[in-house]
């Protein structure tokens, strides 16, 4: 739901704060980060990619909280800082930073972050975030950056290719909230469901209680001054500890895993009809090597099943949760919200179809070999009979 923001709107919001009675209004300092994730290859050798990135490389990143020890990450993603630029937002330039996380299972996650003007009223902050998301140049920036980054780390990528399917996600970060309506209440009680829905869903009309429960079912708090709300395409993170980016890290990781599941599900959708066509073409052929007519199909099928199975297992094992702590609950809630298990079941079902097709074609090839062997045996018997009759005649 695209909504436009004007500089006059922000001016009015500030004026209201400075000269009006906003004792019951929520004022925030925050930012918005737009993520776009791409599959750029089969795997990425992160150590090699770090060498290729040089000064842009900011090292490996992982959650820093104490409870993050309950999260096991086999190969932490590589962080690359790509610079800053001016993004036109509602007709005015806004300074934005761009960075990327590279995951070993072939995903590049680009992040464009913009800090909102300080001490905005909640409604103005919502409008500001919406204007940033709808900036027309944002897509151009993502396309340019992913092409440039993929070219820079090309030697470190196995089977490099940028998939047509990408995943986009937004995180609204609030570092500080000022509100007198409940000055001593937990943040989870300060923000109403309607205010949260207006930001993370973009719904301006008042929603029913049932709709709110369905649209924003995942809400988490660890301390009284923090809050995380996860939805399908965006999240609100209220975190007064400015350097604490663990929640964003976990959400990004879940999105990277979701992207891989969606990419390989899409590839399987394309592979199945093509496989049936190749099998029919091989079956209809009149090659003298009847027993080997499915050899190429079977070889490609076996390779495809092995590749997808290996990739999906690598994605699943990239992050493991060993205890039910705050970050682990957010991670599990994000995967649940993203329907990751449904995507995984779909892939497993299609892989099962490929395996069954492989078994069927292999059985058919074996039957063809058996028939060919029977024909050879019959011919040998006939030759032996003919030679025996010839010997008797002589």
pLDDT at 294: 67
Residue 65, SS3? Answer: coil
> Per-residue pLDDT averaged across 262-288, rounded?
74
pLDDT at 6: 38
pLDDT band at residue 286 under the 50/70/90 scheme:
low
Residue 2, SS3? Answer: coil
DSSP state at residue 88: E
Residue 64 has pLDDT above 50, yes or no: yes
Percent of the chain at pLDDT above 90? 39
- CB-based contact 241:21 (threshold 8 Å): no
pLDDT at 293: 63
Reported as a single tens digit per residue, the pLDDT across 75-99 is 999 999 999 999 998 888 999 999 9
> Per-residue pLDDT averaged across 301-323, rounded?
83
pLDDT at 3: 36
Residue 282, SS3? Answer: helix
Residue 19 has pLDDT above 60, yes or no: no
Using alpha carbons, select from 170, 103, 101 the residue that is nearest to residue 132: 170
Q: How many residues belong to the chain? A: 394
pLDDT at 331: 92
Residue 149 has pLDDT above 90, yes or no: yes
Reported as a single tens digit per residue, the pLDDT across 348-378 is 888 888 878 777 777 777 777 777 787 888 8
**166 or 183: which leads in pLDDT:** 166
| β-strands 166-178, 92-102 pairing | unpaired
Strands in the chain per DSSP E: 27-39, 43-44, 57-60, 71-73, 78-89, 92-102, 107-115, 120-121, 157-158, 166-178, 218-220, 227-230, 234-238, 319-321
How far lies 326's CA from each of 66, 133, 228, 319, 368, in Å? 11, 28, 10, 15, 59
The mean pLDDT of the chain is 83
Task: Indicate if the alpha-carbon torsion angle 323, 327, 331, 333 is positive or negative.
Answer: positive
pLDDT at 106: 94
pLDDT at 65: 82
Give the orientation angle of helix 7-19 with respect to helix 122-133, to 10 degrees.
Answer: 160
- CB-based contact 156:43 (threshold 8 Å): no
pLDDT at 8: 41
25-29, 220-224, 254-258, 278-282 — most confident range: 254-258
Reported as a single tens digit per residue, the pLDDT across 237-253 is 999 998 899 999 999 99
**329 or 276: which leads in pLDDT:** 329
- Residue extents of the structural domains in the chain: 1-394
The helices-and-strands tally (H runs, E runs) of the chain is: 11, 14
What is the distance between the alpha carbons of residues 318 and 314, in angstroms, rounded to a whole number?
6
**387 or 30: which leads in pLDDT:** 30
pLDDT at 230: 93
Distance of CA 14 to the CA centre of its chain: 37
pLDDT at 255: 96
> Per-residue pLDDT averaged across 52-69, rounded?
85
Reported as a single tens digit per residue, the pLDDT across 370-393 is 777 878 888 888 888 888 788 777
Residue 1 has pLDDT above 50, yes or no: no
Using alpha carbons, select from 279, 210, 235, 5 the residue that is nearest to residue 123: 5
52-61, 130-139, 255-264 — most confident range: 255-264
């Amino acid at each position: 739901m695209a909504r436009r923001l004007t500089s006059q709107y922000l001016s009015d919001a500030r004026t209201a704060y400075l000269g009006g009675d906003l004792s019951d209004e929520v004022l925030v300092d925050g930012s918005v980060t737009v993520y776009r994730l791409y599959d750029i290859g089969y795997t990425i050798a992160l150590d090699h990619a770090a060498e290729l990135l040089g000064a842009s490389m900011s090292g490996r990143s992982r959650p820093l909280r104490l409870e993050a020890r309950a999260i096991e990450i086999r190969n932490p993603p590589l962080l690359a800082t790509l610079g800053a630029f001016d993004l036109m937002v509602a007709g005015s330039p806004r300074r934005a930073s761009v960075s990327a996380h590279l995951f070993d299972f072939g995903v590049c996650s680009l992040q464009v972050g913009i800090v909102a003007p300080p001490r905005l009223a909640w409604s103005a902050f919502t409008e500001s975030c919406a204007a940033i998301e709808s900036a027309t140049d944002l897509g151009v920036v993502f396309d340019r950056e992913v092409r440039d980054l993929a070219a820079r780390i090309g030697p470190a990528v196995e089977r490099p290719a940028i998939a047509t399917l990408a995943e986009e996600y937004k995180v609204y970060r609030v570092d500080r909230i000022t509100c007198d309506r409940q000055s001593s209440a937990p943040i989870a009680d300060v923000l109403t469901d309607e205010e949260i829905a207006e930001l993370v869903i973009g719904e301006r009309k008042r929603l029913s209680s049932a709709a709110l429960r369905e649209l924003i079912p995942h809400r988490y708090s660890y301390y009284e001054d923090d809050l995380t709300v996860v939805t399908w395409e965006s999240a609100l993170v209220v975190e007064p500890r400015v350097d604490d980016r663990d929640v964003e890290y976990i959400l990004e990781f879940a999105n990277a895993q979701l992207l891989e599941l969606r990419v390989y599900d899409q590839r399987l959708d394309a592979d199945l009809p093509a496989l049936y066509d190749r099998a029919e073409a091989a079956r209809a052929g009149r090659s003298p090597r009847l027993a080997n007519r499915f050899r190429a199909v079977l070889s490609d099928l076996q390779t495809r099943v092995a590749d997808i199975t290996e990739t999906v297992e690598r994605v699943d094992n990239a992050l493991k949760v060993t205890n039910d702590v705050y970050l682990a609950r957010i991670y599990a809630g994000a995967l649940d919200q993203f329907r990751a298990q449904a995507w995984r079941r779909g892939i497993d079902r299609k892989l099962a179809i490929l395996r069954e097709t492989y078994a069927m074609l292999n059985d058919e090839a074996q039957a063809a070999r058996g028939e060919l062997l029977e024909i050879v045996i019959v011919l040998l018997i006939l030759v032996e009979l003919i030679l025996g009759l010839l010997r008797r005649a002589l």
